[in-house]
Amino acid sequence: MSTKKEPTTPRKELVREELLTKAADVFERKGYAQTTIQDVAQALELSRSALYHYFKSKDEILEALVLEHTAHAAEQMERRLAKRDGSPSDQLRELLSNSINGRMTGGARLRVLDQLAAEMPSDIKQKFDQGRRRVLDLYTRLIQKGIDAGELRPVDARTAALAILGIASWTSWWYSPTGRKSPEELASVLIDIAFHGITRPQGIDEVGQTPRELLRSLKRDIAQLEQLIKTS
């Protein structure tokens, strides 16, 4: 399957974006298997024929959401890193900040993909998995660069990347736009928590935490943050 974007106009692009947002809401509420293309059309108050100007099937809609969240996101990260100087730690902080902010403000368009992974058609699921691996590999390489440069502790880079991405992904589920803290403020707290587990303290040369110890530390810090958010 291939989702081709035809020549567009600003108005058509706005409608397409609204369509993806509404479709994600419907997928999240009803489940992918139970959702029909008519359900999506009704959510947008469009006829099915009007919807077909943008997508021919709900599979095409799902594929567009998957590519936006994985392959396109990885491409944006790679372009951003190619244009930036700075240390691996600074680059990692920037990537994580963008990811957390995106998760907090992306709504169902990001949440629903993890929820629907088991329901995805095999060809779309393959693209979903490939895209997520591409993002994971990017974070892993960047963390390994930080380790090699002596900025980060000598932990397993892939495990650290999984833990950091886990911190970002969970924000989609517990963040509330009516809370007292803004996405930027929460992102700053979460980045400090993530880096607490992998940054090498100045003047300390011994081998850092094992991957298992790192995961325990990060989970403990996340639990404390969630408790703080509930009481704030």
Pick from 115, 161, 135: nearest CA to 67: 135
CA distance 186 to 195: 14
Residues 33 and 141 in one domain: no
Digitized pLDDT (tens) for each residue of the chain, 232 residues in all: 544 445 567 778 888 889 999 999 999 999 999 999 999 999 988 888 889 889 999 999 999 999 988 888 888 888 878 876 788 988 898 888 888 887 777 777 878 888 888 889 999 999 999 998 999 999 999 999 999 998 888 889 999 899 888 878 777 767 777 777 777 877 888 888 777 766 655 544 444 556 666 666 666 666 656 665 565 5
Residue 223 within a domain: yes
- Give me the CATH number covering residue 14: 1.10.10.60
Residues 135 and 200 in one domain: yes
Helices and strands per DSSP (H, E), number in the chain: 11, 0
Residues 87 and 193 in one domain: yes
- Note whether 196 and 221 are within 8 A (CB): yes
| Domain that residue 50 falls in | 10-57
Output the pTM of the full model. 0.72
Q: Is 181 left (phi over 0), alpha (psi -120 to 50) or beta?
A: beta
Count of domains for the chain: 2
Residues 134 and 189 in one domain: yes
Helix (H, G, I), strand (E, B) or coil at 37: helix
Mind listing the pLDDT tens digit for each residue in 128-178? 999 989 999 999 999 999 999 988 888 899 998 998 888 787 777 677 777
Residue with tokens 């190619």: 82
Residues 82 and 190 in one domain: yes
Residues 14 and 108 in one domain: no
- Note whether 193 and 225 are within 8 A (CB): yes
